[in-house]
Structure 1
Amino acid sequence: MFRCMESLLPEFSFLFAFCKSESCLPHVFHDSHTALSHIAFFAMLQWKKRVMQSEGYIMETPYLVYLVDDETNLLELLQSYLESAGLQVRAFSNGTEVVSVLEGEQQPHLWILDIMMPDIDGYELLRLIRQKSDVPIIFISARDQDVDKIIGLELGSDDYLAKPFLPRELVIRAKKLLQRTYEKAVHVPAPSQTFQDWVQIGPYLISEKGRQVKEGEELIDLTTKEFELIIYFLHNLGLALNREQILTSIWGDDYIGSDRAVDDLVKRIRKKMSKFPLETVYGFGYRLTRA
């Protein structure tokens, strides 16, 4: 086993040589088995970080992520992967801990929430978070059912990942969502124009720069995805856009899921903005008009 680890991490050969000495092991660990476990775990973390660096998974901006899951082993594993990708992670093992930090001044750039928890479930936490901010949210759950995904999306989550999943898949999704939200306002293919000031569509005033939508003097509370979709339609005013185009532009090329997510997002926008002139192009997609 040592030989395998040494080949992966030659720069730590001195450490392996030291720990292979039976006379030295008791001075460092209680027994040789404990030593092997610690060294194997250390080597795995270093190798994982090196692989992620070589494949471009390390983020330059130290975004803050709040990770919530009542499975302790999974929580620690996901935290280690996210931190290896350059993210700052604060982990919570129950919903009660989350509620206590919602009133705090420091808020994360991203929430990752487990749905099924014993005290306060992920749906209730999502409602509480959405009352405070539109920070992006990824749901993770052992229940891989369409109804769970739909409920999560309708309540305002931005992505959904069913267990079991590879930790690196969560890292990729988190990274893409953070980049779309904070490093570029909307991912649109070569927009013909950029709106800097207030633009009127029907009774609504929309500010891309200010990331705000108003009806009269009243600000409309929108999630990140809802606002991005509105801006995407605004950049393509009068054009019929199919669901695949919308999925790629709002969720990204790496999105894994059905185009039902588009319909659910449109439904949420229409519920909040009943006079928004967004037409359904049956059998195709949607089109935004001025009237």
Structure 2
Amino acid sequence: MSSQPYKIYLVEDEANLLEVLKAYMEKEGWEVHVFDNGDDALQAIDDPPHLWVLDIMLPGTDGYQILKEIRNRENNIPVIFISARDQDLDRILGLEMGSDDYLAKPFLPQELIIRAKKLLRRVYGEETSDTRKIEINNYVIDFEGRTVIDKENENALVDLTTKEMDLVLLLTEEIGRAMSREEIIEKVWGENYYGSERAVDDVVRRVRKKMPRIHLETLYGFGYRVLSS
């Protein structure tokens, strides 16, 4: 574990979103520097952070130009692009120019945190003590230990079967992302599973019973997702 906190540069011109994302990042113990326009962000480029979180549409210098300057100086610093424009076009252009990940607005702040942690761990090879734990509605989900603790029930261990735990870990690792039943089947049961997709619904029903405060949302005709609140 690093003795110094990760330094994050957050570039976003929407004031409310900037403050919300900054607050979430600081809860992780990160040192967050914010910029609400591209020109100011460009001035800081020679004092590089561990991670850039970069909006594409900015006053002054846009995110594409900032990314180009980042890559001209240092190829290894991870960059997450965020944008509300043409999502497919921005994703393709961003990845071609060297961004490491992409989030389309609107997104949940916790989703950005999860992706940022993955990038930091991949690039720097370090994990903080809680990198593989998240808390949702007073459930503490430990990815490495494969446990769920209920803080509202005297820190009792939630008794989940293997498949129930697999489902919880899958859906909470990417909070807010909708997953189809087909994708859940492939990742939880495996590619060689030939049973009914109703197996997913059954496991979801059991998880909801054992974890009543988890916001496990049904997307009718498609699949499921877990929301942060």
Q: TM-score range by the shorter chain?
A: 0.5 to 0.7
SS in 1 for 2:92: helix
Whose strand proportion is higher, 1 or 2? 2
Question: Would you say 1:146 and 2:110 are equivalent positions?
Answer: no
Correspondence for 2:58 = 117
For normalisation by structure 1, the TM-score amounts to: 0.42
**Which amino acid letter does the alignment assign opposite residue 113 of structure 1?**
L
Aligned-pair CA distance for 1:100: 1.2
**Which amino acid letter does the alignment assign opposite residue 164 of structure 1?**
P
Contact 2:54 2:82 in 1 (8 A): yes
Question: Would you say 1:157 and 2:99 are equivalent positions?
Answer: yes
| CA deviation vs aligned residue, 1:128-176 (integer Å, no higher than 9, x gap) | 1111112000001112521110000000000000000000110111011
SS in 1 for 2:123: helix
What does 1:213-232 align with in structure 2 at a 5 Å threshold?
Answer: none
2:28 paired residue among 81, 85, 95: 85
Distance 1:60 1:128 in 2: 29
**Which amino acid letter does the alignment assign opposite residue 77 of structure 1?**
V
State the 4+ residue runs in structure 1 displaced beyond 6 angstroms: none
Aligned-pair CA distance for 1:118: 2.3
Correspondence for 1:171 = 113
Distance 2:37 2:106 in 1: 20
SS in 1 for 2:9: strand
Structure 2 gaps, min length 5: 127-172, 179-229
**Which amino acid letter does the alignment assign opposite residue 138 of structure 1?**
I
Whose helix proportion is higher, 1 or 2? 1
Identify if the C-alpha distance between structure 1 residues 91 and 131 changes in structure 2 by more than 3 Å, giving closer, same or farther: same
**What is the RMSD computed on CA atoms of the aligned residues?**
2.3
Identify if the C-alpha distance between structure 1 residues 180 and 254 changes in structure 2 by more than 3 Å, giving closer, same or farther: farther
Which structure would you say has the larger Rg?
A: 1
**Which amino acid letter does the alignment assign opposite residue 167 of structure 1?**
P
Identify if the C-alpha distance between structure 1 residues 136 and 173 changes in structure 2 by more than 3 Å, giving closer, same or farther: same
Of structures 1 and 2, the one scoring higher in RCO (CA 8 A, sep 6+) is 2
SS in 1 for 2:85: coil
**Which amino acid letter does the alignment assign opposite residue 108 of structure 1?**
P
| CA deviation vs aligned residue, 1:197-248 (integer Å, no higher than 9, x gap) | xxxxxxxxxxxxxxxxxxxxxxxxxxxxxxxxxxxxxxxxxxxxxxxxxxxx
Contact 2:9 2:53 in 1 (8 A): yes
Distance 1:164 1:99 in 2: 25
Structure 1 gaps, min length 5: 1-58, 185-252, 258-291
Correspondence for 2:194 = none
Question: Would you say 1:96 and 2:96 are equivalent positions?
Answer: no
Contact 2:111 2:174 in 1 (8 A): no
Correspondence for 1:131 = 72
**Which amino acid letter does the alignment assign opposite residue 180 of structure 1?**
R
Contact 1:60 1:86 in 2 (8 A): no
Identify if the C-alpha distance between structure 1 residues 175 and 143 changes in structure 2 by more than 3 Å, giving closer, same or farther: same
Aligned-pair CA distance for 1:117: 1.0
What does 1:273-288 align with in structure 2 at a 5 Å threshold?
Answer: none
Distance 2:50 2:15 in 1: 23
Aligned-pair CA distance for 1:178: 0.2
Alignment: residue pair count: 129
Contact 1:61 1:86 in 2 (8 A): no
Contact 1:144 1:163 in 2 (8 A): no
Distance 1:68 1:144 in 2: 19
For normalisation by structure 2, the TM-score amounts to: 0.53
SS in 1 for 2:39: helix
Distance 1:74 1:254 in 2: 20
